[in-house]
Structure 1
Amino acid sequence: MSPSPNPVAHDHLPFFITSPGSTDWLLLVMAFTLVAAALLAGVFFLHIHSLPERLAHKGQKLQFEIVAVMCLLALFTHAHLLWVAALLLAFIDLPDFLSPMNRIARASEKLAGLPSPEPAQEDASARGEHGHA
């Protein structure tokens, strides 16, 4: 026995009105679309949010770490000014002050007649490692 429409209803019903007991396909399509749109918006937000880190990755390690911390703070505190500052810092090339200072120190040691440090010790100090035992 097929359900009969209400006598007051129009003869032609829109496609999205389903008969009782049948599947509402429009609801399923819209639910899937809503979930997919929310996931894509989240991925897009995180992709844009990591932009300063990806830009600073080409630069110096210290600059990259500062930008990464600023981006994390901006993400968790919703302080958008930190993200803007991280983006600006990522675009700026920081000057290398360490190399000239190391050259001055080596030249001063040479003038003073002190023995120069071993190459392995220089490499460790250039990377920021300390030889604590």
Structure 2
Amino acid sequence: MSEPMHPAAPHHLPFFVPASDGADVLMVIMGIFLVAAILWAGTLYWKLHSLPERLAHKSQKLQFEIVAVLGLISLFTHMHVFWVAGLLLAMIDLPDFSTPLRTIAGSVERIADATPVASEPASEPGPAGDPGAELASKVQGHA
């Protein structure tokens, strides 16, 4: 049933030569290694791609949203300039302009809603023909 080995054939074959039953152990090992390497590289790429978003997570909400949108645009268009822009924007601390402006707006509203202080009664205008008396009364009212 089994044929005798040819006299010129080596008696010991290396491990990478498949057995006569067709089982290729090295191919199975390399297949598992390839799948693991692809998953590892994909995870590394995903971590690297989300780096700007992770950096901007502790910043203001608007800055985080802009960085996230730039990351998505970069992911879908494969234009790396958006990723670089998102990374640079995430590394910059933008000053908070909204809080001082909101405080100013609140102060102006309080000033506008305040009741005016009772002013002095207006002095009687002088005679109609005397413009100097009318001017003098206006100056006294503002002094």
Give the TM-score normalised by the residue count of structure 2: 0.73
Query: Higher mean Cα deviation, 32-41 or 18-27?
Result: 18-27
Distance 1:14 1:7 in 2: 18
Distance 2:103 2:18 in 1: 81
Task: Return 5+ residue gaps in structure 2 as ranges.
Answer: 116-143
1:84-103 pair list within 5 angstroms: 84-103=84-103
The structural deviation recorded for 1:51 is 0.5
The list of structure 1 runs, each at least 4 consecutive aligned residues, that deviate by more than 2 angstroms after superposition, is 1-13
**Letter of the aligned partner of 2:93 in structure 1?**
D
Distance 1:19 1:97 in 2: 73
Give the TM-score normalised by the residue count of structure 1: 0.78
Identity of aligned residues (%): 55
Distance 2:3 2:36 in 1: 35
**Structure with max Cα Rg:** 2
| C-alpha RMSD of the superposition | 1.9
Distance 2:66 2:3 in 1: 68
Change (3 A) 1:61 1:35: same
Aligned length: 115
Distance 2:53 2:14 in 1: 51
Change (3 A) 1:102 1:34: same
Distance 2:17 2:4 in 1: 14
